[in-house]
Protein backbone atom coordinates (compact mmCIF):
# COMPACT_ATOMS: atom_id res chain seq x y z
CA UNK A 1 0.00 0.00 0.00
CA UNK A 2 2.83 2.38 0.96
CA UNK A 3 4.65 1.64 -2.30
CA UNK A 4 1.51 2.36 -4.37
CA UNK A 5 0.99 5.68 -2.56
CA UNK A 6 4.60 6.73 -3.24
CA UNK A 7 4.21 5.81 -6.92
CA UNK A 8 0.98 7.84 -7.19
CA UNK A 9 2.55 10.77 -5.35
CA UNK A 10 5.58 10.73 -7.67
CA UNK A 11 3.26 10.57 -10.71
CA UNK A 12 0.88 13.38 -9.68
CA UNK A 13 3.41 15.67 -7.97
CA UNK A 14 4.41 17.51 -11.20
CA UNK A 15 0.74 18.50 -11.68
CA UNK A 16 0.36 20.39 -8.38
CA UNK A 17 3.97 21.37 -7.64
CA UNK A 18 4.72 25.08 -8.10
CA UNK A 19 8.27 25.26 -9.39
CA UNK A 20 10.61 28.22 -9.88
CA UNK A 21 11.14 29.22 -13.51
CA UNK A 22 13.90 31.68 -12.68
CA UNK A 23 16.72 31.95 -10.09
CA UNK A 24 15.82 33.37 -6.68
CA UNK A 25 18.11 36.38 -7.19
CA UNK A 26 16.17 37.31 -10.35
CA UNK A 27 12.82 37.10 -8.51
CA UNK A 28 14.16 39.25 -5.67
CA UNK A 29 15.56 41.82 -8.10
CA UNK A 30 12.28 41.86 -10.05
CA UNK A 31 10.32 42.66 -6.87
CA UNK A 32 12.77 45.37 -5.78
CA UNK A 33 12.78 47.02 -9.23
CA UNK A 34 9.16 48.15 -8.78
CA UNK A 35 9.29 49.07 -5.09
CA UNK A 36 11.07 52.45 -5.08
CA UNK A 37 8.85 55.51 -5.54
CA UNK A 38 11.04 58.21 -7.02
CA UNK A 39 11.28 59.85 -10.41
CA UNK A 40 9.04 58.26 -13.04
CA UNK A 41 7.58 55.70 -10.61
CA UNK A 42 6.48 58.43 -8.20
CA UNK A 43 4.72 60.42 -10.92
CA UNK A 44 3.20 57.27 -12.37
CA UNK A 45 1.60 56.56 -8.99
CA UNK A 46 0.42 60.17 -8.65
CA UNK A 47 -1.17 60.31 -12.12
CA UNK A 48 -2.78 56.86 -11.90
CA UNK A 49 -4.30 57.84 -8.55
CA UNK A 50 -5.83 60.94 -10.18
CA UNK A 51 -7.13 58.68 -12.97
CA UNK A 52 -8.70 56.32 -10.41
CA UNK A 53 -10.35 59.29 -8.66
CA UNK A 54 -11.83 60.50 -11.96
CA UNK A 55 -13.16 56.99 -12.62
CA UNK A 56 -14.81 56.80 -9.19
CA UNK A 57 -16.10 60.38 -9.44
CA UNK A 58 -17.72 59.72 -12.83
CA UNK A 59 -18.70 56.07 -12.23
CA UNK A 60 -16.37 55.06 -15.10
CA UNK A 61 -15.18 51.47 -14.75
CA UNK A 62 -12.85 51.92 -17.76
CA UNK A 63 -10.89 54.69 -16.04
CA UNK A 64 -10.68 52.71 -12.77
CA UNK A 65 -9.45 49.55 -14.52
CA UNK A 66 -6.92 51.54 -16.57
CA UNK A 67 -5.53 53.16 -13.41
CA UNK A 68 -5.22 49.81 -11.62
CA UNK A 69 -3.42 48.24 -14.58
CA UNK A 70 -0.78 50.99 -14.65
CA UNK A 71 -0.34 51.60 -10.92
CA UNK A 72 2.78 50.32 -9.08
CA UNK A 73 0.99 50.54 -5.70
CA UNK A 74 1.00 46.79 -4.99
CA UNK A 75 4.79 46.29 -5.36
CA UNK A 76 5.85 47.27 -1.78
CA UNK A 77 3.14 45.00 -0.30
CA UNK A 78 4.48 42.01 -2.25
CA UNK A 79 8.01 43.02 -1.27
CA UNK A 80 7.16 43.11 2.45
CA UNK A 81 5.50 39.69 2.32
CA UNK A 82 8.46 38.18 0.47
CA UNK A 83 11.07 39.79 2.73
CA UNK A 84 9.35 38.55 5.93
CA UNK A 85 9.24 35.02 4.49
CA UNK A 86 12.94 35.04 3.55
CA UNK A 87 14.11 36.93 6.69
CA UNK A 88 15.53 39.68 4.46
CA UNK A 89 15.22 42.57 6.90
CA UNK A 90 17.14 45.09 4.78
CA UNK A 91 14.60 44.46 2.00
CA UNK A 92 11.73 44.69 4.49
CA UNK A 93 12.87 48.13 5.71
CA UNK A 94 13.22 49.35 2.12
CA UNK A 95 9.77 48.03 1.12
CA UNK A 96 8.00 49.32 4.26
CA UNK A 97 9.46 52.84 3.80
CA UNK A 98 8.26 52.92 0.22
CA UNK A 99 4.87 51.52 1.25
CA UNK A 100 4.40 54.47 3.65
CA UNK A 101 5.61 56.87 0.93
CA UNK A 102 3.17 55.37 -1.62
CA UNK A 103 0.34 55.70 0.91
CA UNK A 104 1.15 59.40 1.48
CA UNK A 105 1.48 60.16 -2.26
CA UNK A 106 -1.82 58.41 -2.99
CA UNK A 107 -3.69 60.30 -0.25
CA UNK A 108 -2.22 63.64 -1.37
CA UNK A 109 -3.19 62.99 -5.01
CA UNK A 110 -6.73 61.85 -4.22
CA UNK A 111 -7.34 64.63 -1.66
CA UNK A 112 -6.13 67.32 -4.09
CA UNK A 113 -8.36 65.97 -6.84
CA UNK A 114 -11.50 65.94 -4.69
CA UNK A 115 -10.70 69.43 -3.36
CA UNK A 116 -10.45 70.73 -6.93
CA UNK A 117 -13.33 68.88 -8.63
CA UNK A 118 -16.76 70.58 -8.74
CA UNK A 119 -18.44 67.14 -8.53
CA UNK A 120 -18.44 66.48 -4.80
CA UNK A 121 -21.34 63.99 -4.74
CA UNK A 122 -20.40 60.50 -3.53
CA UNK A 123 -21.06 58.08 -6.40
CA UNK A 124 -22.05 54.42 -6.07
CA UNK A 125 -18.56 53.35 -7.22
CA UNK A 126 -16.91 55.53 -4.58
CA UNK A 127 -19.19 54.34 -1.79
CA UNK A 128 -18.62 50.69 -2.70
CA UNK A 129 -14.95 50.97 -1.65
CA UNK A 130 -15.78 52.22 1.84
CA UNK A 131 -17.34 48.93 3.02
CA UNK A 132 -15.18 45.86 2.32
CA UNK A 133 -16.87 42.47 2.24
CA UNK A 134 -15.61 38.93 2.76
CA UNK A 135 -15.31 38.62 -1.00
CA UNK A 136 -12.79 41.50 -1.05
CA UNK A 137 -10.69 39.65 1.51
CA UNK A 138 -10.79 36.49 -0.61
CA UNK A 139 -9.85 38.53 -3.69
CA UNK A 140 -6.87 40.01 -1.85
CA UNK A 141 -5.63 36.65 -0.55
CA UNK A 142 -5.98 34.64 -3.77
CA UNK A 143 -4.86 37.67 -5.77
CA UNK A 144 -1.68 37.76 -3.70
CA UNK A 145 -1.07 34.06 -4.43
CA UNK A 146 -1.61 34.62 -8.16
CA UNK A 147 0.61 37.74 -8.15
CA UNK A 148 3.55 35.91 -6.62
CA UNK A 149 3.19 33.02 -9.07
CA UNK A 150 3.19 35.62 -11.86
CA UNK A 151 6.39 37.19 -10.51
CA UNK A 152 8.16 33.82 -10.39
CA UNK A 153 7.23 33.10 -14.02
CA UNK A 154 9.50 34.21 -16.85
CA UNK A 155 6.53 35.83 -18.62
CA UNK A 156 4.04 36.58 -15.84
CA UNK A 157 3.18 40.19 -16.71
CA UNK A 158 -0.39 39.30 -17.76
CA UNK A 159 -1.01 37.57 -14.42
CA UNK A 160 0.29 40.55 -12.43
CA UNK A 161 -1.81 42.99 -14.48
CA UNK A 162 -4.93 40.91 -13.86
CA UNK A 163 -4.19 40.70 -10.13
CA UNK A 164 -3.79 44.50 -9.94
CA UNK A 165 -7.37 44.84 -11.23
CA UNK A 166 -8.80 42.02 -9.10
CA UNK A 167 -7.34 43.13 -5.76
CA UNK A 168 -8.29 46.81 -6.28
CA UNK A 169 -5.70 48.50 -4.04
CA UNK A 170 -6.14 51.97 -5.56
CA UNK A 171 -9.89 52.74 -5.31
CA UNK A 172 -10.03 52.46 -1.48
CA UNK A 173 -7.34 55.15 -1.19
CA UNK A 174 -9.35 57.31 -3.61
CA UNK A 175 -12.34 56.91 -1.28
CA UNK A 176 -10.12 57.80 1.70
CA UNK A 177 -8.94 60.93 -0.17
CA UNK A 178 -12.56 61.87 -0.85
CA UNK A 179 -13.26 61.57 2.87
CA UNK A 180 -10.30 63.83 3.73
CA UNK A 181 -11.22 66.44 1.12
CA UNK A 182 -14.86 66.64 2.25
CA UNK A 183 -14.26 65.91 5.96
CA UNK A 184 -16.43 62.79 5.74
CA UNK A 185 -14.54 60.66 8.25
CA UNK A 186 -16.67 57.56 7.64
CA UNK A 187 -15.45 57.49 4.02
CA UNK A 188 -11.85 58.16 5.08
CA UNK A 189 -11.84 55.41 7.71
CA UNK A 190 -13.78 53.01 5.47
CA UNK A 191 -11.40 53.50 2.52
CA UNK A 192 -8.30 53.21 4.73
CA UNK A 193 -9.73 50.10 6.41
CA UNK A 194 -10.40 48.56 2.96
CA UNK A 195 -6.83 49.33 1.83
CA UNK A 196 -5.15 47.93 4.97
CA UNK A 197 -7.17 44.71 4.74
CA UNK A 198 -6.02 44.32 1.11
CA UNK A 199 -2.39 44.87 2.13
CA UNK A 200 -2.53 42.42 5.04
CA UNK A 201 -4.03 39.59 2.99
CA UNK A 202 -1.90 40.14 -0.13
CA UNK A 203 1.23 40.18 2.05
CA UNK A 204 0.09 37.08 3.92
CA UNK A 205 -0.52 35.20 0.65
CA UNK A 206 2.93 36.11 -0.71
CA UNK A 207 4.55 35.14 2.60
CA UNK A 208 2.88 31.72 2.73
CA UNK A 209 3.49 30.87 -0.93
CA UNK A 210 7.16 31.88 -0.87
CA UNK A 211 7.55 29.67 2.21
CA UNK A 212 5.86 26.78 0.36
CA UNK A 213 8.17 27.30 -2.64
CA UNK A 214 11.16 27.10 -0.24
CA UNK A 215 12.88 30.39 -0.99
CA UNK A 216 16.14 30.59 0.96
CA UNK A 217 16.21 32.47 4.24
CA UNK A 218 19.05 34.92 4.74
CA UNK A 219 19.41 34.17 8.48
CA UNK A 220 17.62 31.94 10.96
CA UNK A 221 15.17 33.32 13.53
CA UNK A 222 17.71 33.02 16.40
CA UNK A 223 20.36 34.98 14.50
CA UNK A 224 18.10 37.95 13.80
CA UNK A 225 18.57 41.07 15.96
CA UNK A 226 15.87 42.07 18.47
CA UNK A 227 14.21 44.76 16.25
CA UNK A 228 13.82 42.20 13.46
CA UNK A 229 12.15 39.79 15.88
CA UNK A 230 9.72 42.53 16.91
CA UNK A 231 8.81 43.21 13.26
CA UNK A 232 8.29 39.49 12.69
CA UNK A 233 5.93 39.22 15.68
CA UNK A 234 4.01 42.37 14.66
CA UNK A 235 3.50 40.95 11.16
CA UNK A 236 1.73 37.93 12.66
CA UNK A 237 -0.17 39.96 15.24
CA UNK A 238 -1.65 41.98 12.37
CA UNK A 239 -3.46 38.82 11.31
CA UNK A 240 -5.52 38.92 14.54
CA UNK A 241 -7.52 42.08 13.68
CA UNK A 242 -7.69 40.98 10.05
CA UNK A 243 -9.22 37.67 11.12
CA UNK A 244 -11.65 39.54 13.38
CA UNK A 245 -12.55 41.86 10.48
CA UNK A 246 -13.16 38.84 8.27
CA UNK A 247 -15.45 37.28 10.89
CA UNK A 248 -17.25 40.62 11.34
CA UNK A 249 -17.79 40.94 7.59
CA UNK A 250 -19.16 37.38 7.40
CA UNK A 251 -21.66 38.25 10.15
CA UNK A 252 -22.72 41.41 8.29
CA UNK A 253 -23.12 39.42 5.07
CA UNK A 254 -25.29 36.84 6.85
CA UNK A 255 -27.38 39.59 8.47
CA UNK A 256 -27.89 41.33 5.09
CA UNK A 257 -28.92 38.00 3.50
CA UNK A 258 -31.42 37.40 6.34
CA UNK A 259 -32.83 40.90 5.90
CA UNK A 260 -33.34 40.42 2.15
CA UNK A 261 -34.95 37.01 2.76
CA UNK A 262 -37.24 38.54 5.39
CA UNK A 263 -38.30 41.32 3.01
CA UNK A 264 -38.98 38.88 0.14
CA UNK A 265 -41.06 36.61 2.37
CA UNK A 266 -43.05 39.21 4.31
CA UNK A 267 -43.09 42.61 2.60
CA UNK A 268 -42.94 42.05 -1.16
CA UNK A 269 -46.17 40.60 -2.63
CA UNK A 270 -47.97 40.63 -5.98
CA UNK A 271 -49.71 43.88 -4.98
CA UNK A 272 -47.01 45.46 -2.82
CA UNK A 273 -43.48 46.49 -3.72
CA UNK A 274 -40.46 47.91 -1.90
CA UNK A 275 -39.56 51.06 -3.82
CA UNK A 276 -36.48 51.81 -1.79
CA UNK A 277 -34.64 50.31 1.16
CA UNK A 278 -31.87 51.61 3.37
CA UNK A 279 -30.00 49.04 5.44
CA UNK A 280 -27.71 50.57 8.07
CA UNK A 281 -25.75 47.97 10.03
CA UNK A 282 -23.32 50.48 11.57
CA UNK A 283 -25.96 51.98 13.86
CA UNK A 284 -26.86 50.51 17.23
CA UNK A 285 -29.32 48.95 16.83
CA UNK A 286 -29.05 48.20 13.11
CA UNK A 287 -32.05 49.46 11.17
CA UNK A 288 -33.96 48.84 7.94
CA UNK A 289 -35.83 51.78 6.41
CA UNK A 290 -38.39 50.86 3.74
CA UNK A 291 -40.50 52.86 1.28
CA UNK A 292 -43.43 50.62 0.34
CA UNK A 293 -46.12 51.14 -2.31
CA UNK A 294 -49.22 49.07 -3.08
CA UNK A 295 -51.47 47.34 -0.57
CA UNK A 296 -51.66 49.43 2.58
CA UNK A 297 -50.16 47.91 5.72
CA UNK A 298 -52.24 48.49 8.84
CA UNK A 299 -50.69 48.90 12.27
CA UNK A 300 -51.76 45.32 13.01
CA UNK A 301 -50.03 44.09 9.82
CA UNK A 302 -46.82 45.92 10.76
CA UNK A 303 -46.82 44.42 14.25
CA UNK A 304 -47.37 40.94 12.82
CA UNK A 305 -44.43 41.45 10.42
CA UNK A 306 -42.17 42.68 13.23
CA UNK A 307 -43.05 39.64 15.32
CA UNK A 308 -41.70 37.42 12.52
CA UNK A 309 -38.28 39.11 12.54
CA UNK A 310 -37.02 36.90 15.36
CA UNK A 311 -37.33 33.76 13.21
CA UNK A 312 -34.90 35.38 10.72
CA UNK A 313 -32.38 36.31 13.42
CA UNK A 314 -33.37 40.00 13.23
CA UNK A 315 -34.65 40.48 16.78
CA UNK A 316 -32.09 43.27 17.38
CA UNK A 317 -32.82 45.10 14.10
CA UNK A 318 -35.16 48.10 14.00
CA UNK A 319 -37.71 48.15 11.14
CA UNK A 320 -39.00 51.50 9.84
CA UNK A 321 -41.76 51.35 7.20
CA UNK A 322 -42.98 54.32 5.12
CA UNK A 323 -46.26 53.10 3.60
CA UNK A 324 -47.57 54.51 0.28
CA UNK A 325 -45.61 57.75 0.14
CA UNK A 326 -47.56 60.80 -0.98
CA UNK A 327 -46.67 62.63 -4.20
CA UNK A 328 -44.70 65.38 -2.39
CA UNK A 329 -42.50 62.81 -0.65
CA UNK A 330 -41.91 60.99 -3.94
CA UNK A 331 -40.97 64.23 -5.70
CA UNK A 332 -38.44 64.99 -2.98
CA UNK A 333 -36.75 61.62 -3.61
CA UNK A 334 -35.72 61.30 -7.29
CA UNK A 335 -34.56 57.71 -6.78
CA UNK A 336 -37.89 56.87 -5.19
CA UNK A 337 -39.82 58.39 -8.10
CA UNK A 338 -37.69 56.45 -10.57
CA UNK A 339 -38.31 53.18 -8.74
CA UNK A 340 -42.05 53.90 -8.59
CA UNK A 341 -42.18 54.49 -12.36
CA UNK A 342 -40.18 51.31 -13.03
CA UNK A 343 -42.55 49.28 -10.82
CA UNK A 344 -45.61 50.74 -12.54
CA UNK A 345 -44.17 50.12 -16.02
CA UNK A 346 -43.35 46.53 -15.07
CA UNK A 347 -46.88 45.99 -13.77
CA UNK A 348 -48.36 47.45 -16.98
CA UNK A 349 -46.14 45.15 -19.07
CA UNK A 350 -47.24 42.12 -17.03
CA UNK A 351 -50.91 43.09 -17.48
CA UNK A 352 -50.41 43.62 -21.23
CA UNK A 353 -48.76 40.22 -21.52
CA UNK A 354 -51.63 38.59 -19.62
CA UNK A 355 -54.22 40.31 -21.86
CA UNK A 356 -52.41 39.19 -25.03
CA UNK A 357 -52.27 35.59 -23.78
CA UNK A 358 -56.00 35.65 -23.02
CA UNK A 359 -56.73 37.08 -26.48
CA UNK A 360 -54.77 34.26 -28.14
CA UNK A 361 -56.65 31.65 -26.11
CA UNK A 362 -60.00 33.31 -26.94
CA UNK A 363 -59.17 33.38 -30.66
CA UNK A 364 -58.21 29.72 -30.59
CA UNK A 365 -61.54 28.87 -28.95
CA UNK A 366 -63.45 30.85 -31.57
CA UNK A 367 -61.79 28.87 -34.36
CA UNK A 368 -62.97 25.53 -32.95
CA UNK A 369 -65.97 24.26 -34.97
CA UNK A 370 -69.01 22.80 -33.17
CA UNK A 371 -68.77 19.62 -35.29
CA UNK A 372 -65.29 18.90 -34.05
CA UNK A 373 -66.49 19.27 -30.45
CA UNK A 374 -69.35 16.76 -31.05
CA UNK A 375 -66.96 14.33 -32.68
CA UNK A 376 -64.66 14.46 -29.71
Output the tens digit of pLDDT for each of the chain's 376 residues.
Answer: 556 556 555 655 555 666 666 788 888 888 888 888 888 889 988 998 999 898 888 888 888 888 887 888 888 888 988 888 888 888 888 999 999 999 999 999 999 999 998 877 778 788 878 877 777 888 888 888 888 888 887 655 555 555 565 567 888 999 999 999 988 888 898 899 889 888 888 888 888 888 888 888 877 666 666 555 676 677 677 677 777 777 887 888 888 888 888 888 887 776 677 777 778 777 777 888 887 776 677 788 888 888 888 888 888 888 888 775 544 554 455 555 555 565 566 667 777 777 878 777 777 766 665 555 455 4
Beta-carbon neighbour count of residue 211 at 10 Å?
13
pLDDT score for 228 = 59
**Intervals of CATH 3.30.70 along the chain:** 255-352
Alpha helices in the chain (DSSP H): 2-16, 24-33, 40-57, 61-70, 75-85, 89-116, 124-128, 134-152, 157-167, 170-182, 185-212, 226-237, 239-266, 299-308, 327-332, 334-366, 370-375
Which of 133, 144, 146 lies closest to 203 in space, CA to CA? 144
Residue 309 makes CB contacts below 8 A (sequence gap 6+) with 262, 315, 317, 319
- Residue 59, sorted as left (phi over 0), alpha (psi -120 to 50) or beta, turns out to be left
Model-wide pTM > 0.85? no
Overall CATH class of domain 255-352: alpha beta
pLDDT for the residue numbered 106: 92
So what's the pLDDT on residue 14? Answer: 58
| Strand, helix or coil for residue 317 | coil
Q: What is the pLDDT of residue 275?
A: 72
What does the pLDDT read at residue 327? 47
CATH architecture type of domain 21-237: Up-down Bundle (1.20)
Q: Name the segment(s) of the chain with CATH classification 1.20.1080.
A: 21-237
Angle subtended at Cα 350 by Cα 345 and Cα 353, rounded to the nearest 5 degrees: 125
Q: What are phi and psi of 287, to 5 degrees?
A: -135, 155
- Contact call for residues 88 and 218 (beta carbons, < 8 A): yes
Amino acid sequence: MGIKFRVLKRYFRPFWKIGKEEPEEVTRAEILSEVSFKGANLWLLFFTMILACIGLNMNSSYAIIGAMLMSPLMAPVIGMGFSISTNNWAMFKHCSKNWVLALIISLIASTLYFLATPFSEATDALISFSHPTIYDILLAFFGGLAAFIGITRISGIKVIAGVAVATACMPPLSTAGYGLANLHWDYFLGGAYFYFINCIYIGLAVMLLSRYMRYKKLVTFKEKPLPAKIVYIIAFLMLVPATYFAWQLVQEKKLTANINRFLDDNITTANRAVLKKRINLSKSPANIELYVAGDILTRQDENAIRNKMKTYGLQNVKLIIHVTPDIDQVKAEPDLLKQLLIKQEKKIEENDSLINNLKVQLDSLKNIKPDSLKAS
